[in-house]
Structure 1
């Protein structure tokens, strides 16, 4: 983070270096600024995707949620994972009332390969990890190596 105004020990104000401030501002990772929910500091959850010969696996770290908080859907070969949470807190005392509320949401979407058996997709949520199992169609599964005899 850059300093806009520097106050030397003698108390005089030094003008900020505007060029340096502009370079600092535009040199930031702007995409990360827009991935952050400013109300709660929650960022877009990171996703791990791995492939085996039999299936694809999607894992997302989203602690603090319940399995009922997720909306997982498939539309036109696009897998979408989303959640919307609203939190309200009200505290009353004889002399004051305090209300706090927060809202957070995210949505991640992934285009599925044609090789996914979409009616067999399963999901589970355990210990803050959302796991989705995307089995491959039989014709897409990796076949074991075989030896061909020459006659």
Structure 2
């Protein structure tokens, strides 16, 4: 039976066990907070990079660059080594007559503390520009 000062069969007192649980709980809370802040920082960095990417694509299309050269690949996620799990995909909406209607970039990123859950940020730029093939 446990008592505050009496030891159990392993030599631990109740106070020692409670203190250990408190220390481990605090450490796990602090670790999850640090992970959430690093993912948030990576998300902001990627958002800035994608905004620049979309503005650049619009400029290239307006200047008459061939469409295949402009939107050939998605922007690489910022710092993939430090923040793994960030994925960028590009979707281009066109309308009849060869006009680019909208360029959409979807950023998928992991939810801190979960191995399977993910969230998405969607960025788009409406462009009404004829495409050079």
TM-score range for the pair, normalised by the shorter chain length: 0.3 to 0.5
Q: Would you tell me which structure has more helix in proportion to its own residues?
A: 2
**What TM-score, normalized to structure 2?**
0.32
Q: Would you tell me which structure has more strand in proportion to its own residues?
A: 1
**What TM-score, normalized to structure 1?**
0.30
